[in-house]
Structures are given as structure tokens and as C-alpha cells.
Chain A
Amino acid sequence: MNKRLFFVIAAIVISICLIQSCKNNATTQVAEERIPDVVSYNFDIRPILSDKCYACHGPDANKRKADLRLDIAANVYSALKDNPTAHALVPGKPEQSEVFLRISTPDTSMLMPPPASNLKLNEREVSLIKKWIRQGAKYEKHWAFVAPQSPSLPVIKNKDWVKNEIDYFILSKQEQKGLTPNPEADKERLLKRVSLDLNGLPPSLEMMDKFMADNSANAYEKVVDELLKNTAYGEKMALHWLDVARYADSHGYQDDGYRTQWPWRDWVIHAFNENMHYDDFVTWQLAGDLIPNSTKEQLLATGFNRNHKITEEGGVVDEEYRVSYVTDRNDLFGKAFLGVTLECAHCHDHKYDPFSQKEYYRMFAFFNNVKEVGIESVIGGPETYAKKPFIEISNEDVKNILTFINKPDTNRLIVSVMGDLDTARKTYVLIRGGYDAHGAEVEPGTPDSILPFNKDYPKNRLGLTKWLFDKKNPLTARVYVNQMWQELFGKGIVKTSGDFGKQGELPSNPQLLDWLAVEFMNHGWDIKRLVKQMVMSATYRQSAVITPEKLKADPDNVLMARSPRYRIDAEFIRDVVLSSSGLLNKTIGGPSIKPYQPAGLWEGATSGRGLLSIYKQDHGADLYRRGIYAFIKRTVPPPVMGIFDASNRDQCEVRRLKTNTPLQALVMMNDPTVLEASRVFADKLIRENSRPEEKITKAFRSIVSRKPAEKEVEVLSNYYRKELKIMNDKKAARLLSQGEYPQDEKADKIKQAALMQVIVTIYNLEETITKT
């Protein structure tokens, strides 16, 4: 190869990409370098101060330098301690403000942030701060800690486009930037999208035919209602919640023994299907045991906070682990319900947000009273499948009150749940987070900056849920509607769905977020209503076509002038494969199942102790259950799921990555689940009395959820004919050996194998596992 040419080309590639990456690094908003006429503290200034200054001039009292605090207005305008003639900020006068002087000086010994911190302000940031000071250097409370007010609908030009209120907010932003929304997606694409979003399954051929034939004005709404009624809705909604709740089927440490927490998972599916409202849904899970005269179902719901990892490693220090469980619950509470990084205040005052370490432990006190120990038992038999406190679920319970539990046998069934000590355990600030380093004793309480704890509430977890669902709480509703937006639109209105604090991203559409949050609260925290509202919007229904102009104007689709296009979650990829091929076993709930898995994964990474040291794959109908039921052994989670970015359930997760790797290609090409589904589907199709093109069209429709274009049928039919030509008995027999589903020995194996190759290819299409 010509080396010089190679380097020239490589250099061009690199420079293009560097320029590109610099652009993308600078901001995730639509490229806008102009300094705004009116500089906003919350949107322009605070992100700079927080990211570049708070580490030394922020809320953490122990690390504060020069006794200067820039996160609150309290003393920024008065004389500096170290230099009484100077002032940090002089409103209107940047030239007299130390803040401006120190960030703009060429003298590196004076420059802020100090070069050694590896932090630096760029020119735009310096100009923004200068202008902000000139305009009065006014502080505002952090937007997320002010309770949302319902904004009025913005004025828009294109009224024909909007379907509901959501669209007003979206369109208004677009009109400001001169963008127009995409037209509505074609019916087939729209049906696939909404079916995946509400049920996690592709639409059946019957659904497609029915919807295509329905020309009534509310055809789409009818489909939405149907999908919301389907029990698959509960399974779809449960997946995100299982990530939040770090649900798994093993204890998670060292030998990683088995646990029977699945009845709690069955309850989650049931609760979503019953459309339990969010306030009850969460209250039961956090404090079901403290509700007066609580029912067994409410007790079961509290399994939520016992899903964390529990050690069975002999030799640990008991208190160290007990404290780690409480820590896990507390951190989860911050991340999942409040969307704040409370965990940062575990060892010291929070560096960016106004949470002191003391407040962390006041919150911690709510979860510190559980009748539990750090290590109850080492790996063992059924008595170790749940840890105290637990409930026993009898066959009577399942017959009468807990009818949603899919208990397959008569074995004793125990589930870890919450339960408090009669005498409260004392809670102390733990110095530097050390489990045995007790500081001052603290009482249960909540961070004042979010909402002070109402004295009338009981000082326990039940009181905490009352605080959480107090309409004055600025975060609860915003955080949940944002998570739902993320699940339906690919990313949240606040992209960092686990961090609404000062280091989090700003909302791309703050008015919409607030409107949704207030609306959600005003309608009794009704989840199905919220979901329906989102999928009924014109915003949701747009086509996903990306024009070069839109890609350039808004590469990250912040303004939603098109529907996002992205790969579906790991579990739903499995569901698409099983459902479209007809293999899917629709049973809901029950103990998790063990599908095909490459040999030796559990065995190669085990101490050799316990039920889970050997992977005993299931057989028969259990092989075809939905992805949500795949057994999760925390130390060796199901490999296919991990390759497609599923949570390993170590800790609470509110957002999954969406990556694209060669290992994913290998899975789609060679996973026996895909190959078996293709074989079985091919067998079904060759029995039908139809031409090859019709068979291919039917396969394509079932898998991709739309009719193939002529050209597509042509490519695939040619491929089929080529395969027919090279196929022989031996090759066919080998190809058809995939999976345990019985093979019809009388089938025309040559045709079946050739068609199977085509179907595997259809499963591998980018569009198949993409929401389009």
C-alpha cells in the first residue's frame, strides 16, 4: 500500500474528526456560540461555577478554600476575608470583581481555577461570567429545588400539527430555532414503535392487518388502549423498575448464592397492570410494612428494599456490611426518587449540591432500623434463599390473596422484606463514611434545600413517603416523568436522569418537564395516563427520518424535530426473536428461567460452592420465556444481556447505555436462540402453500413489522435461490441442528435450511432491533 497516501488520508480523517469532536465536546445543546442578551444564572452561569469552581468554593465546608463560597449569594458581595479591600462579586462591575479578575488573568500563579486542578474556563465561559456580573450578578435558587408550577401553553404558529399539550412545548422550541417537525410516521412504523414501547413486543400480523385496515380517526388511539390493557404492558414497564430496584436472583457477593425474590418481581408486573398509581406504588415498596394494618401484599412490596446485594462471605465484619445495606437503600432513594447524587455526601459534605454529610445521615436514619444483620448465613440450602426479616408465602396465600404470584410447586417460599426493630437503632454521622467511625448522633430528617421534613409526619419510612409525595416536593414528580420520557423517547428531558443537581444536565425543555410533572401530580400520579399522554402526542408520532439538514442543525435531536431512532433493550431483542417466530411462551412470572448459555461461564468463575456453581439450563417451554425472566446471577449475569447493555443489577440504575459493538453482531449471528427461532419459523413457512417470495414477505413482516419494499424482496429472494443451489442434505441437516425445539423429520430440509439462512439475515437487520 502507498504509505504516503495512507498518512494523508489518515490525517484528513483525524482532523475532520477532531473538529467534529471539539464541536461535540463544547456543548450538547444545539450549536449556539452567541452570548445571550440576558445571561441566566441557572442556565448559563451556575453550570460553569458548579463544574469548575465548587470543588473548592462550594458546599463542602472541609475543602473550602479562602473561606469563599460561590454556590450561595450569602457573602459573595462582601469584602473577602483574605483581602478586605477586594470583593468576589461587585454587581455591574466585572473589573472590580475578583471572580472575573482571577479567571481572566494571564498570570498563572493567580489564575483560577489553578492550573494544577486540570480545570480551565474557555473564552466563552469567561465572557458569560463577565456579562452576568455586568448585568448584576444575581443568584437564583437551583431550578430543580424549586417546586414546579404549571406553565401556560406557549404560543405557536403551526397549530395544525399539535395533538396535545406536549406538542406546544416541543414545537415552540423548534419554531424559535427555525426547525419544523417531521411528518407523522407511516402506520406500520408507528405501530411497531408503540407496540415495542408499551408491550416490549412487535405487533402480530393480525394487529398489523387490523390497524392498516382501520381508517377511522381514532384508529391509533384504539391500538394504544389495546396495548395498555395487554398484560405484556406490565412486563414492559417492570423492566425499567427492576433496574431501579437492582432486582436479581442471587445474593451478589463471593459465592453468590441463590435467592427467591421473584415473587416481588411478580408483584411489580401485577401493580403496573393494575395501574397502581405512582404514589401508592412507591409508598408500598418503601413503607408497606409500616402502613397501619398492612396487608401481606403490602409487605411483599417492601421486598423492593431487600433486593440489594447481601454477603454470604464468612469472615466479614458484620457491621461493615449492615451499614453497606443501609447505604445502598439511602443512595437508591436519592438517585431513583429524587434524582440527586446523595451518595456523594456519604463521606463528606456534597461538593456541588447543598446536602451536608449530616443530612445524608439524617436520611440514612430512615433506613437504619431494619431487623437485619450484616451476615446472617453463609452459602447453604433453602433456608438461605431469603434473609431476615422475611415472609413466607403459602399456597393458601397464592390461592386467595396473592393470586398474581406464579408459584409452580409446593416448596416453602420465602421472600426478604422490610421490618423495623421495636427500639430504634441509633444513627450517627459516620466520619469519612467509615462504618465504625461514629460521629454525632442524628435524628431522621430530609435535606432542607429540597423540602424540610414536616413535623407532623411520623419519623419513619412511612413519614418519608409522605414527604416524598408532598406536592411541594420539587423533585419526585419531575424525576419520574423524566424517567418515563426517557423510556419512550430514548433520553430524558433532563438527560442525566439520575442527577437533577447542579452537576446534572439542564432540562432541554424545562417548561415541558414542569407541565408534565404538575399534570402527573394533579391526576393522582396515574402512570397509565402519563404514558398514554406521551404516546398520543404528535411529537411521539413523528417519523424517524433524519435529513442531512436536521442532522447538522440538531445532531443530538435535543429539539425533537424527528422521532429518535435507537436500539431496543437487551430483553426485548430476545422477545422480538421469540415472538415473531411464534416460539414465545407468554407465561407471566414465576422463578427465573435459564435459557441457552455458552457452556462453562458459571463453572469457570465459581468457588465451587452452592446451587449456582453449575448452570443447569432449562428445557422445553421454559426456553421460550420473555427476556425479563432470564435468571440473573449477579457475579456472572446472562452474557447476551450484558453485551446489549443490560444492568448487572449491582446497584440501582436509572438509565442504560445504548452501545453498538462487534460482540452484538456475533450474538445476533450465532446465538442459538436466534438460530433456533429461524429454523422453527422456516419450518412453519415451508409448510404453507405459497411462493418463496410470499414466504419471505411474511417472515419479513413478522420480524421487521412492515411490508418489505420490492427491492428488499428481490435481494432476499435472490439470496434464497443462491442458498437453495448450494444446499445439500448434509449441510442442511447441520444447519437445522440448532436448538432443542423438535425438528420435523419429514420437512423438506433443503428448502427449510435455505429459508432459515434468509430469516437469520432478517433478524440481523439493523431495523429489526431498532425503534424506528
Chain B
Amino acid sequence: MEKDILEYGLNFNRRRFLSKLSLGVGSLALGSLLIPNLFSKTGMDDDIYPPGIPHFAPKAKRVIYLFQNGAPSQLETFDYKPKLCEMMGEELPASVRGNQRLTGMTAKQASFPLIGSFTNFKQYGQSGAWISDLLPHTAKIVDDLCIVRSMYTEAINHDPALTFFQTGSQQGNRPSMGSWLSYGLGSENKNLPDFTVLLSRGIGNGQGVYSKLWSNGFLDSIHQGVQFSKGEDPVLYLTDPDGMDRHDRREMLDNLAEMNQLSYKEFGDPEINAKVQQYEMAYRMQTAVPETMDLSKESDDIVKLYGPDCLVPGTYAANCLLARKLSENGVRFVQLYHQGWDQHGNLPFEIASQAKDVDQASAALVTDLKQRGLLDETLVIWGGEFGRTNYSQGKLTQDNYGRDHHPRCFSVWMAGGGIKPGIVYGETDELGYNIAKNPVHVHDFQATVLNQLGLDHEKLIFKHLGRRYRLTDVSGRVVRDIIS
């Protein structure tokens, strides 16, 4: 083991060593011994800030991000607006709408009839947060959650809004949040990738997800998100071909290493040894990944907690359970996407179904982490890319309506990872159109997430084509009010 690590380190591409060091956060104390000024203010200079080590003591070590792709309506989930029910069918006052630009789908709509939630809300927990009847399990863990009702974004369409949330830029081509963390903190587990992605889909109106959302952008491709999927090959090309067992693979790798060693003797290129090490890591991944993906050994209690769907590969529930296992095994950033939240029409039926997909398992994940003592060091995030309008898109009927995209306010929740539990942060106006108190911009949200991981969003930079890039671009502030 010692020899393994020593060789791994020595042979690794020297320039990238620190970002790859497989000790990760565990090496904190060690790092501060070796660089005395590491955690003092005077040491802060990007020239002596090697990636791979946090900027200050982190609260969280890992993130699980439950992305609700398509943008769930805040008005049927976390943002209770009884006034909208009272004013049902009345016109959205122009003074409230202000100069908000509209998507092409409702821009030509002659009227903007207000519409209240079809489902009821009740207060829960010590915090007394209002939660809709669509989320009974979430309601039970409300005292573990920090619900932010005052998120806002700049984008009004799915692709740019998703890209903005994940990369800090609407146009893409920049590293995803998980890639930034992999770059900033390095790896905790040398048998698994730092950044993994899990996809699922509900029956609601869906929007695609794009592998560019977990792209490494201009960072080294080692920081790319690795999609884990259901089926035989949980990671692309992981499984050895039919007819080849572990013994055969070992034999092949031993011969390969011997041949590569001959090449090293001739050329003296350190990259040859680095290559051999990458093959060894691939070999270890071939065992580690299927072990982690194997849910058959989970206890009945766990299955009951997450719900029976958690044994059906590819479902949101299965992905939540898998997320816990990956995270538990040291995967820095687990990104889930659940598609189907784009309710332009047929909202009551579709959102109920979507909520049913995610409610129990999301709550179970928080509970499960808590009972394992992992919630303190794991930040769980739940939310979509923007909110939905308080008026109906298309025709408003007695039992059916839809809501268009709304960037000005929406809700997300966070749990664990040093975020204050049992609070509701931010407020919207009584019609749920504008933020009334404590707005949180996407970049603020990103800055806060990085902060919990021990990273200063203004210092986690990568210089590319002459410019210092950040996840938060040129703005963002840490939302101190929600940090415990």
C-alpha cells in the first residue's frame, strides 16, 4: 500500500500531482504542516495556492446534488401563496410584472390569469415551514432542511439556465461545478472518479440533459463527470469483454506493463509510467464500481426507507441510494438529474407524478446520511434551473392549467454540510412573482456551496486564454445567513 501510493505519486505527471493526490481532505493536516501559511491570511496568493487543497477548513467534504431538471413549480411545492387562490383568474397586475421579459411561449398571450396551487399546504416541524401535500416525506424532515425561497437566475430557457447553474455561464464550454470541486479538492478515493452523474426520468414533460453539463471545460479531462448508468456497463467501457475474467485481465496488464517498461527504458518519458498507473487505476475501478453499484446487499430497512423503486435500476430512488453509496465511498460530487418537471400544461397531474418520483427517496437520502453520521460532512441540494409563473400558460380551466418559465424567484433546499437546518430563507411577494426579501442569485448559491467545501469562490481560479476563470464568473457572495 505504501509503495503503491509512493509510486503513484512519483510517477504521476509532476505538474498535476497536487490535484491528483489521492489523499484529498485527509491530507489537510499534513498539507498545513508542510506549508505553514496555508491557512493564514498572509499566505493567500494564487501563485502559492496549489489546487488540490482547500483554502480554509471545510464544513463539508462531499456534495450530492439532486437536480430537478425542467424546473419544478415552487408554487406547488415550497412557496405557499394563498393570495393566488383568492385571486384565481384575475389578471397579473402590470405593476408586479414590471419589465420582466417573457419566453416566446407566452409573450403573445393576451391575458395573464393568476392561478393558485391546486394542492394544499401545511406547516411542519419546529420551523413551521409550509410544505405542499405533494411532498409528505419531505415534510417529515423539514427540520433538517434549509429551504431557500428566494433563488433567482438570469436565464429564461432550459438549456442556458441549466448550463448557468452548472457552469456559471449560460453559453457553456466552462467546467461544471463538480469538475471545479474535483480540480479544487482532488480525490478521496483512488478507485472511483471524483465526479459522477446519475440520470433518471419521470413521466412529466421532459427536457433533455446534455453531457456538456458535466464537462470539464478547459480543465484537465480527469475532472470530467463520469456518467454511471444502469445496465451491464455502469461506467462506459468498464466491463471486460465476454470470455475474459479477472485473471485474464491481470495477466494482460502484467504483460502490458512489462512491454511499456521496455519503452520507458528506451525513451525515459515519465508519461509512460503515468500511463501504466492509469491502467492500474482502471483495473481497480473495474472492481470498485460494480461493488458500489450493487444494491442487493442493502438491508430491508434501507429498501423500506427509500421505497421499493430503489431496487429498480435507473429510477430516481435507485439513484438516490446509489448516490449515498458513492458519496460514502468518497466520491466528491454526485450529480443526479431527474427529468420531467417542465409543466407548461397539464400541471396538476404531471407535477403530482413527478413529486411522487422524488419525494420519498430525497427525504430518505437525508435521513440515511444522518443515521450514518454522514450528513454533517455531506451537502445535499435539491432544486431546478428556474421557477414557474404565477399565472397560467394557455387556457385556465377548473382543474387544469400550466405555468411558464419564471426566472425571478424559485425555491431550492439544502441539507447537511454545515448549512443551518430547519430554516426558511428569503421571501417572495404575496403573489409569488418577485422576491421580497433576501434574494439569492445563482452565483451566490455557487459561492456558498464552494464555501462549505472550504473553497473561496474568488480564489478557486483557472487561468485560460489569459483570463482567470471562476465558477462564479465575476460576481457571487457567500450567503452567510444560512451557514451554521
Residues of A within 8 A of B (CB): 1-2, 5-7, 9-11, 13-18, 20-22, 24-26, 115, 118-120, 122, 253-256, 311, 313-318, 324, 341, 344, 352, 375, 496, 498-499, 501-504, 544-548, 551, 555, 565-566, 598-600, 604-608, 634-637, 639, 642-643, 645, 648, 650-651, 657, 659-667, 669-671, 675, 709, 711-712, 715-716, 719, 722, 726, 731-738, 753, 757, 760-761, 764-767, 772
Contact = CB atoms under 8 A, between A and B. Distances in A.
A761 B242 contact: no
Contacts of B13: 660
A767 B268 CA distance: 12
B98 interface: no
Given A6-B2, A734-B243, A663 B236 contact: yes
A9 to B, nearest CB: 5
A607 B263 contact: no
Nearest to A665: B282
The 7 A-B residue pairs with the shortest CB-CB distance, nearest first, are A503-B466, A734-B243, A735-B243, A635-B210, A665-B282, A315-B103, A120-B45
Contacts of A766: 260, 263, 271-272, 275-276
Contacts of A314: 104-105
Contact of B278 (A551, A599, A660, A738): A660
Contacts of A545: 266-268
Contact of A765 (B248, B263, B281, B458): B263
Contacts of A565: 267, 269, 271
A9 B3 CA distance: 9
Contacts of A24: 14-15
Given A737-B242, A766-B263, A772-B267, A13 B6 contact: yes
Contact of A735 (B211, B221, B244, B263): B244
Contacts of A316: 103-104, 157
B466 A501 contact: yes
A314 B266 CA distance: 59
Contacts of B105: 314-315
A772 B267 CA distance: 9
B209 interface: yes
A612 to B, nearest CB: 10
Nearest to A722: B251
A21 B35 CA distance: 13
Interface stretch (B121-129, B133-141, B227-235, B435-443): B227-235
Interface string B274-312: 111011011001100000000000000000000000000
B174 to A, nearest CB: 10
A21 B9 contact: no
B237 A666 contact: yes
B422 interface: no
Interface in B107-137: 107
A254 B158 contact: yes
Nearest to B21: A14
Contact of B103 (A15, A118, A317, A709): A317
Contact of A760 (B6, B9, B252): B252
A21 B50 contact: yes
B347 interface: no
B208 A600 contact: no
Interface stretch (B23-31, B60-68, B361-369): B23-31
B424 interface: no
A665 B278 contact: yes
B274 A660 contact: yes
A662 B243 contact: no
27 contacts: A13-B5, A14-B27, A18-B34, A18-B35, A18-B50, A20-B17, A25-B47, A118-B458, A311-B159, A317-B101, A324-B171, A375-B104, A496-B466, A501-B466, A546-B268, A565-B269, A605-B199, A605-B209, A607-B208, A643-B236, A665-B282, A666-B286, A669-B240, A712-B259, A715-B262, A735-B241, A772-B267
Contact of A546 (B31, B35, B267): B267
Contacts of B6: 9, 13
B429 interface: no
A722 B254 CA distance: 13
Given A17-B9, A115-B44, A715-B255, A663 B226 contact: yes
A607 B208 CA distance: 4
B46 A119 contact: yes
A607 B220 contact: no
B94 interface: no
Q: Which of B107, B172, B240 has the most CB of A within 10 A?
A: B172
A22 B239 CA distance: 39
Among A14, A544, A669: residue with most chain B CB under 10 A: A669
Contacts of A14: 9, 21, 27, 30-31, 34
B194 to A, nearest CB: 11
Nearest to B52: A21
Contact of A636 (B44, B45, B210, B405): B210
A700 to B, nearest CB: 10
B10 interface: yes
A546 B266 CA distance: 9
Nearest to A544: B267
Contacts of B101: 317
B207 interface: yes
B157 A604 contact: no
Contacts of B18: 17-18, 21
A122 B46 CA distance: 11
B48 to A, nearest CB: 7
Given A18-B34, A21-B50, A544-B269, 19 more contacts: A7-B30, A10-B30, A14-B30, A20-B14, A21-B17, A119-B45, A254-B159, A256-B208, A317-B101, A503-B466, A551-B268, A634-B212, A659-B222, A663-B224, A666-B237, A666-B238, A666-B282, A670-B241, A722-B251
Nearest to B13: A660
A1 B4 CA distance: 12
B268 A547 contact: yes
A555 B14 CA distance: 10
Contacts of A5: 2
Given A115-B44, A503-B467, A757-B252, A605 B259 contact: no
A263 B268 CA distance: 45
B45 A11 contact: no
A6 B1 contact: yes
B46 A715 contact: no
B10 A255 contact: no
A669 B249 CA distance: 9
Most chain A CB neighbours (cut-off 10 Å) among B1, B14, B44, B243: B243
Contacts of B394: none
A657 B229 CA distance: 26
A150 to B, nearest CB: 28
A666 B278 CA distance: 9
Contact of B466 (A318, A504, A605, A666): A504
